[in-house]
C-alpha cells in the first residue's frame, strides 16, 4: 500500500506522520526533506534554480538563502509556478527511487508520501489512497509563525498562496481534521491505518 498525505502549510501533516510512524510499520518519504537535500550547494537542481532566479538567492558560500527565495515566490505567482515546475521533476524522480528501494527491502511496510503539493506534482498517481489533512485557518497561521519564526502577516501571505481546505475535501479519499483534538484525531488515524492494512509495531 502506498498512501499519500497532503494538506496546506500548518495543517499538521507532520503530527499525523509522527503518530503513524511511532505505532505502525511505515516508511515515510518526505518531499520537503528531499527538496532540502536537493538544494544543497553544487547539485544539478541548485544550478537550475540559480539560472532561473539569479545568484542573489545564494550566499557567498553558495548556500541557498531560503527566506530570500520564499519572499520571491510568495510575492509572484508566476515565479512560484516556475520554481515548482523545476522542483517537481527532481522530487518525483527521488521519490520513485525510494519507493522501489523500500518495496525491495521492506515487504510488509506501508509507504507514505508526505507532500504538500502531492496533486500538483502528480504524485497522487503513485498512491493507492490519498489522505488530506485540514485545520482551522487561524490555527494554521499560528503554527506557521511558531515553526518558521516569521510574523503573522508573512505567514498569512504564505497560506493565501496555497490551496484551501475545499481543494483537499474534493480530491482526497480520506480527510483528517487536525484542530488540536488529539483524542479524536488518533481515532481517525487508527481507523485509516486499519483500512490500509498497516502493521502494528508492537
Q: How far apart are CA 5 and CA 28, in angstroms?
A: 10
What fold, for 2-195? Rossmann fold (3.40.50)
pLDDT (tens digit per residue) in 132-167: 999 999 999 999 999 999 999 999 999 998 999 999
**pLDDT recorded at residue 173:** 96
Q: Average pLDDT of 38-62?
A: 90
Every domain of the chain and the residues it spans: 2-195
CB 5 within 8 A of CB 133: yes
Q: String of b and e for 43-64 (b: at least 16 CB within 10 Å)?
A: eebbebbbeebeeebbeeeeeb
pLDDT (tens digit per residue) in 172-201: 999 999 998 888 899 999 999 998 889 898
Nearest 10 degrees: CA dihedral of 100, 29, 195, 181?
A: 180
| pLDDT range class, residue 71, cuts 50, 70, 90 | confident
Q: Is the pLDDT score of 77 beyond 80?
A: yes
**pLDDT recorded at residue 171:** 97
Q: How far apart are CA 27 and CA 161, in angstroms?
A: 30
Q: Is the pLDDT score of 75 beyond 80?
A: yes
**pLDDT recorded at residue 96:** 95
As beta bridge partners, residue 2 has 111
If you count them, how many residues does the chain have? 202
Q: How far apart are CA 13 and CA 114, in angstroms?
A: 8
| Spatial CA neighbour of 197 closest among 26, 80, 50 | 26
pLDDT (tens digit per residue) in 83-94: 988 898 899 999
**pLDDT recorded at residue 106:** 83
Share of the chain above pLDDT 70, in %: 100
H-run or E-run covering 155: helix 152-160
Amino acid at each position: 500500500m502506498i498512501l499519500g498525505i497532503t494538506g496546506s502549510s500548518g495543517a499538521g501533516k507532520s503530527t499525523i506522520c509522527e503518530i503513524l510512524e511511532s505505532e505502525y510499520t511505515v516508511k515515510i518519504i518526505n518531499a520537503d526533506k528531499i527538496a532540502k537535500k536537493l538544494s544543497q550547494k553544487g547539485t544539478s537542481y541548485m544550478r537550475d534554480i540559480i539560472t532561473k532566479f539569479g545568484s542573489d538567492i545564494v550566499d557567498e558560500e553558495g548556500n541557498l538563502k531560503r527566506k530570500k527565495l520564499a519572499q520571491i515566490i510568495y510575492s509572484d505567482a508566476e515565479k512560484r509556478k516556475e520554481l515548482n515546475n523545476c522542483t517537481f521533476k527532481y522530487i518525483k524522480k527521488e521519490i520513485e527511487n525510494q519507493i522501489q528501494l523500500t518495496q525491495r527491502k521492506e515487504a510488509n511496510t506501508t509507504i507514505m508520501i508526505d507532500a504538500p503539493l502531492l496533486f500538483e506534482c502528480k504524485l497522487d498517481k503513485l498512491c493507492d489512497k490519498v489522505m488530506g489533512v485540514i485545520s482551522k485557518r487561524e490555527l494554521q497561521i499560528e503554527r506557521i509563525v511558531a515553526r518558521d519564526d516569521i510574523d503573522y502577516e508573512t505567514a498569512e501571505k504564505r497560506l493565501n498562496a496555497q490551496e484551501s481546505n475545499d481543494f483537499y475535501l474534493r480530491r482526497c479519499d480520506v480527510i483528517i481534521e487536525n484542530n488540536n483534538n488529539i483524542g479524536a484525531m488518533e481515532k481517525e488515524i487508527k481507523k485509516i491505518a486499519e483500512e490500509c492494512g498497516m502493521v502494528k509495531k508492537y
